Structures are given as C-alpha cells and as structure tokens.
Structure 1
Amino acid sequence: MITKLGQVMLYVNNQEEAIDFWTKKVGFHVVSDENNGEGMRWVELAPTKEASTNIILHNKQLIAKMQPELNVGTPSLMFFTTDLDRLYTHLTKQYVTVGEIVSMPSGRVFNFSDDENNYFAVMEKNEPPLSFTS
C-alpha cells in the first residue's frame, strides 16, 4: 500500500536558477545535491526539515533526451501555509509573480510563478491534514 507522497519531480531548464528561486525567494532549503558524475544532477528541496514531501529538481532537456516518452511538463502543485497573507507579502517583496488572493470554499488561495513561468498554488490551511483509514 502507498503510505505517502515522498517526492515530486520538477523538470527545469536551469537548475541553478531554480535552486535560487526556491531557496532565496520561497524559503525552501536544499536537502541534498547529487551528481552521478555523468552529467545527471538532482537537487532535493524541502519547505521545512519536517516536510514529508520534497521537490526534486531535474534538468528538463537531459531527462527528455534520456526518456523521450516521459512527460516533463510542470506538475500542478498545491502548497499549504498557515499564514497566507504573510507568504503573499514575502513573495511580493521577492519580486515573485503572484496572482490575487481568492476565497474558495476550501480556503483562501493564490497562484505564483517561478522564474521559468511555471505556476503553482498556495492554500491557507489551519487544521491538521486529513487522514484516511481503510
């Protein structure tokens, strides 16, 4: 049985710029930076040390060449925060492109884009995550 989502692969055109975006602008930290010595590099990023799901940055062109059948498009990611207004202000001050804060039935949310114009969403969640039992 699957117990959790461990990593999300994010294929980017420029890994260094993506690392700078996620660490300097969004506030993630580098968990690991690996290279197989043959040009294959992957960088694991996390929003907190306690995060159960991390992002892995891969070189989009290299992965597409190695596995042409693989979809290297940007996944639709929804991040959670307990302080949406503070995060919105922080990203705005970092010159990150952000959308309007919108109230949805499930909570307030806004979109933001990285430096490669990939869009992501953030939702305010104050309650603990749901757990499912069988």
Structure 2
Amino acid sequence: MSQPAQTLAAITYLVADYDEAIDWFTRALGFELISDQDLGEGKRWVEIGAGDGGVKLLLARARGVQQVAAIGASAGDRVGFFLHTTDLETKRAWMEHEGVRFEEATRHEPYGKVAVFRDLYGNRWDLLEPTA
C-alpha cells in the first residue's frame, strides 16, 4: 500500500495580538495576508506567508498563562524560522529600514549568506541567501 501525498501546510505561531502581528509581518518582512476569518469569541483564522506558496504561519492569539509565556520562545532561544532570499543584502537593508533588529553582521557559511534577526516577539530567524 502506498502513502498518499502530503504537504506541510502551516505552523502555529503564537501572538499577543492578531492585528499587531499582521502589521509587522506584512510591513517588516513583506509577507502576504492569505486568510483572516472571524471564528467568533475573539478567535480568528489568520494565515500569512512569504508569497511563494510555501509553508504558512497560522497566527494564534495566545490564551492562558502557558501560551502567553510561550510567545517569543517558540524554539527556546534557538533560531526557529528560516526566511530565504535571493539577495540578502538588499532584503536586509529593506528590513532594517522597517525597524527589524539584526543580531549580527552578515556571515558566510558553506550553505550561504546568513544573518540572524528577531521578530516583534523576540523569536530568532535566519535571513538566508542559500548557496546555488
């Protein structure tokens, strides 16, 4: 029996506020708002993505002490998200203009150019221009 096809479609991303997160991701990273549906009782189905048809982030407003404490700590303090670009220096300059904080100068690794930044909640990301 063969396995049916599958796709990793979305990853839950905890936020303090839907609109704040939508604004930051669309403005600072250039992401697209894919879906924003009211589910009632203050809950929404909000998907954002890089516009490439790849994995989406499903924004979930944190509720309760445990979820609120997890905002900004999705991967502990490791890099948990990887944003690929074809021109790291141009993308970095644009992001810095939008207020994104980078932790380091761009460095060159065997797999490409990379620079770590933090998002609005403190999660760490790699901005990565992969080696061809």
Give the TM-score range, shorter chain.
Answer: 0.7 to 0.9
Structure 2 unmatched runs, 5+: none
Q: Distance in 2 between matches of 1:112 and 1:25?
A: 12
Give the counterpart of 1:34 among 31, 34, 37: 37
Q: Distance in 1 between matches of 2:106 and 2:7?
A: 29
Contact in 2 for aligned 1:10/1:56 (Cα 8 Å): yes
SS in 1 for 2:30: coil
Counterpart for residue 118 of structure 1: 123
Compute the displacement of 1:38 (Å). Answer: 2.2
Q: Distance in 2 between matches of 1:4 and 1:104?
A: 29
Counterpart for residue 51 of structure 1: 53
Contact in 2 for aligned 1:12/1:59 (Cα 8 Å): yes
- Give the length in aligned residue pairs: 121
Contact in 1 for aligned 2:15/2:60 (Cα 8 Å): yes
Structure 1 unmatched runs, 5+: 66-70, 128-134
SS in 2 for 1:92: helix
Q: Percent identity?
A: 26
SS in 2 for 1:20: helix
When the two chains are superposed, the root-mean-square deviation of aligned CA atoms in Å is 2.2
Counterpart for residue 28 of structure 2: 25
More strand by share: 2
| Correspondences of 1:61-76 after superposition (within 5 Å) | 61=63, 64=66, 73-75=73-75, 76=80
What whole-Å deviation, never above 9, does each CA across 1:52-83 have from its counterpart, x for those lacking one?
Answer: 21111111225957xxxxx7642411121111
Give the counterpart of 2:83 among 79, 83, 90: 79
Contact in 1 for aligned 2:113/2:131 (Cα 8 Å): no
| Correspondences of 1:90-129 after superposition (within 5 Å) | 90-99=94-103, 100-125=105-130, 127=132
Quick one: which amino acid aligns to residue 20 of structure 2? E
Quick one: which amino acid aligns to residue 33 of structure 2? V
Quick one: which amino acid aligns to residue 111 of structure 2? S
Give the TM-score normalised by structure 2. Answer: 0.79
What whole-Å deviation, never above 9, does each CA across 1:86-119 have from its counterpart, x for those lacking one?
Answer: 1110011111101321111211111111222222
Q: Distance in 1 between matches of 2:37 and 2:66?
A: 19
SS in 1 for 2:40: coil
